[in-house]
């Protein structure tokens, strides 16, 4: 008896592997049921071709019903697929504000110029901590038409976040008298690195949300998110104890003047967010075709299934990132035996629906930039050996209500690893009175800009309310590496 192989089935026009398999099953049944066809393939070819061309006529057929239904499903999927479109860039970039331009590298400026040539760009600004990234530079703020979102302008680590807990405890009690206890709690209550997880993660109502059932793609990521909840990544992610200096009581920081023990954390949405970023960035680049220099700035329309899928997933990643921080801070507060008297937190690497000063509705992407609307609170960290600042936004329209998200790099990770030595970094930290758990050369304090200078560049963007001075810092171990974008 002759058999029809997969290559012959594909030659008839069947494409998807699963459909080819079903067609093969149908061919075998036809050979079995039709003794008069044995030894010849032409009748089988004719029969399969008829099913392929008119599957709706075979839905109820006992032999080919399953194949016909699968063909109809594939047909519907193809009809729903968005049509790719080629776009050109504007001849010249839109005018945008640059803060601290003398300290920003030319590649970051070039990336921002390219972003401002997008046909969907409306406004932009570049923060003083800016350095090159993928697509939009880190420290880039980009406002696009209100129905377009750019996954790479949000970033790989969606909703990377700062969170500060302040405790009604004199900082010197632990930092000077019991630092070893703080180090033990940092080790016990934090997990860093690729696929890092707690053996017993804390439960959270977030995972009861219907948002986890919005699509098969998100449902398939839920187990990973549950497994990694309350943990931190690598790169510049950290959890640290330090001293918050309150020099004046304000409505935003209603604490008596003094020095308080505080906990500061920096991390994002872990593997959950990174997978979302990779999936939808690829989709965007398949749908919105741009010149090579701008291909990572491809966008999705919120009027499409793909665009709304990313929007919903990004917002869920934002909730998840916040939950990660809250679990870290909850574990640490439990160890301290008290609750924080003040908690301040903010996202960066996110997109928001906002309105510009002239009333134009836009989508604002802040990739490594802190929201700084009038009166909004945020945290701008320096390095493990320099202060972080609690700030209040001034609502500066030229900056699109934004400020820097940190000090910004002056040295690439690869250059840091090849030029710095462990002994030099160790001595530097000892001189500054900093105790480091984990960490690597690519996050040494000297790879960053001077945070005081960066804050000087953005005096018209934020008001400084208080300073946090890190003392005991926890980061990923040097051997726990992963590709990431700050």
**pLDDT tens per residue across span 255-275:** 999 999 999 999 999 999 999
Residue 483 above 60 pLDDT? no
Nearest of 19, 2, 144, 106 to residue 70 by alpha carbon: 19
Together in a domain, 75 and 162: no
Closest CA to 170 of 235, 271, 82, 257: 257
Is 306 part of any domain? no
The percentage of residues in the chain with a pLDDT greater than 90, rounded to a whole number, is: 83
Residue of 200, 191, 259 lying closest to 226 (CA atoms):
200
Task: Say which residues have a Cβ less than 8 Å from residue 199's Cβ, sequence separation at least 6.
Answer: none
Domain membership flag for residue 328: yes
Do β-strands 85-86 and 97-98 pair in parallel, antiparallel, or remain unpaired? unpaired
CA distance 339 to 24: 65
Annotate 143-167 with three-state secondary structure: EEECCEECHHHHCCCCCCEEEEEEE
Task: Give me the domain span that covers residue 416.
Answer: 157-267+319-339+371-474
Residue 481 has pLDDT above 70, yes or no: no
What backbone torsions phi and psi does residue 200 show, to the nearest 5 degrees? -130, 85
Each residue of 132-159: pLDDT tens digit? 988 899 999 999 999 999 999 999 999 9
391 assigned to some structural domain: yes
Domains contained in the chain, number? 2
Q: Do 174 and 70 sit in the same domain of this protein?
A: no
pLDDT of amino acid 450: 97
Does residue 136 belong to any structural domain of this protein? no
Angle formed by the axes of helices 42-53 and 17-33, nearest 10°: 130
pTM above threshold 0.85: no
Q: Is residue 289 part of a domain?
A: no
Task: Answer for the pair 232, 196: CB distance below 8 angstroms, yes or no.
Answer: yes
> What pLDDT, in 10s, does the model give residues 425-437?
999 999 999 999 9
On the 0-12 / 13-18 / 19+ scale of CB atoms within 10 A, 82 is middle
Please indicate, yes or no, whether residues 334 and 445 belong to a single structural domain of this protein. yes
Give the distance, in angstroms, between the CA of residue 309 and the centroid of all CA atoms in the same chain.
Answer: 15
- A 10 A CB-CB count for 432 gives 15
Regarding whether 431 and 335 lie in a shared domain, the answer is yes
For residues 137-166, b (16+ Cβ closer than 10 Å) or e, as one string? bbbbbbbbbbbbbbbbbbbbbbbbbbbbbb
Domain contains 108: no
pLDDT at 1 over 70: no
CATH number of the domain residue 328 falls in = 3.90.1860.10
The pLDDT tens digits of the residues spanning 397-411 come to 999 999 999 999 999
Task: Please say which residue of 55, 80, 105 terminates a domain.
Answer: 80
- State the pLDDT confidence band at 2, using cuts at 50, 70 and 90: low
pLDDT digits (tens, 9 = 90+) for 197-227: 999 999 999 999 999 999 989 999 999 999 9
What's the pLDDT score for residue 80?
A: 61
State the pLDDT at residue 29.
86
Verify that 44 and 163 share a domain, yes or no. Answer: no
Residues 425 and 325 both lie in one domain: yes
Band of pLDDT at residue 354, cut at 50, 70 and 90: very high
Higher pLDDT among residues 425 and 481, named by residue? 425
Distances (CA, A) of 230 to 237, 269, 270, 365, 454: 13, 10, 10, 26, 31
Q: Is residue 299 in some structural domain?
A: no
Rounded to an integer, what is the distance from CA 416 to the centroid of its chain?
24
CB-based contact 460:394 (threshold 8 Å): yes
Domain boundary among the residues 40, 65, 80 is at 80
Q: How confident is the model at residue 482 (pLDDT cuts 50, 70, 90)?
A: very low
- Least Cα distance to 171 among 475, 458, 459, 433 occurs for 433
Q: Model confidence over 97-121: pLDDT tens digits?
A: 999 999 999 999 999 999 999 999 9
Q: For residue 219, tell me if it sits in a domain.
A: yes
Q: Are residues 323 and 180 in the same domain?
A: yes
**Residues 350-358, mean pLDDT to the nearest whole number:** 97
Q: Which token pair is 358?
A: 């002239």
Please identify, among 57, 80, 103, the residue that sits at the C-terminal boundary of a domain: 80
Residues 446 and 327 placed together within one structural domain of the fold: yes
| Confidence band of 42 (pLDDT split at 50, 70, 90) | confident
């Amino acid at each position: 008896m002759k058999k029809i192989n997969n290559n012959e089935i594909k030659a008839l026009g069947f494409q998807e592997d699963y459909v080819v398999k079903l067609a093969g099953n149908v061919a075998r049944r036809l050979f079995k049921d039709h003794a008069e066809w044995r030894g010849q393939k032409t009748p089988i070819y004719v029969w399969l071709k008829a099913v392929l061309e008119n599957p709706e006529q075979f839905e109820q057929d006992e032999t080919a019903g399953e194949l016909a239904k699968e063909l109809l499903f594939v047909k519907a999927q193809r009809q729903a697929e968005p049509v790719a479109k080629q776009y050109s860039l504007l001849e010249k970039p839109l005018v945008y504000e640059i803060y601290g331009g003398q300290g920003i590298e030319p590649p970051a400026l070039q990336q921002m110029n390219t972003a401002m040539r997008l046909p969907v760009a409306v406004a932009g600004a570049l923060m003083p901590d800016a350095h090159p990234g993928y697509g939009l530079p880190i420290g880039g703020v980009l406002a696009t038409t209100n129905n377009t979102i750019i996954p790479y302008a949000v970033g790989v680590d969606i909703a990377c976040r700062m969170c500060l807990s302040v405790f009604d405890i004199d900082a010197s009690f632990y930092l000077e008298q019991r630092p070893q206890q703080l180090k033990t709690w940092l080790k016990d209550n934090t997990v860093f690195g690729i696929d890092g997880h707690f053996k017993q993660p804390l439960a959270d109502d977030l995972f009861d949300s219907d948002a986890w059932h919005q699509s098969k793609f998100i449902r398939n990521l839920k187990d990973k998110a549950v497994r990694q909840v309350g943990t931190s990544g690598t790169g510049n992610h950290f959890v640290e104890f330090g001293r918050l200096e309150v020099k004046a009581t304000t409505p935003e920081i209603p604490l008596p003047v003094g020095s308080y023990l505080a906990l500061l954390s920096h991390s994002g949405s872990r593997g959950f967010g990174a997978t979302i970023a990779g999936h939808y960035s690829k989709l965007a680049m398949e749908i919105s075709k741009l010149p090579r220099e701008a291909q990572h700035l491809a966008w999705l329309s919120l009027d499409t299934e793909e665009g709304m899928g990313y929007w919903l997933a990004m917002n869920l990643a934002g909730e998840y990132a916040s939950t990660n921080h809250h679990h870290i801070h909850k574990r640490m507060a439990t160890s301290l035996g008290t609750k924080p008297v003040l908690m301040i937190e903010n996202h960066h690497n996110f997109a928001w629906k906002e309105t510009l000063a002239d009333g134009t509705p836009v989508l604002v992407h802040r990739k490594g930039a802190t929201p700084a609307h009038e009166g909004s609170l945020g945290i701008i960290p320096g390095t493990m050996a320099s202060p972080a600042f609690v700030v209040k936004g001034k609502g500066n329209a030229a900056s699109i209500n934004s400020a820097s998200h940190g000090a910004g790099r002056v040295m690439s990770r690869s250059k840091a690893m090849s030029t710095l030595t462990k002994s030099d970094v160790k001595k530097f930290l000892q001189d500054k009175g900093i105790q480091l758990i984990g960490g690597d050369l690519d996050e040494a304090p000297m790879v960053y800009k001077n945070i005081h200078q960066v804050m000087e560049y953005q005096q018209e963007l934020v008001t400084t309310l208080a300073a946090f001075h890190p003392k005991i810092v926890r980061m990923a171990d040097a051997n726990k590496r992963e590709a990431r974008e700050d």
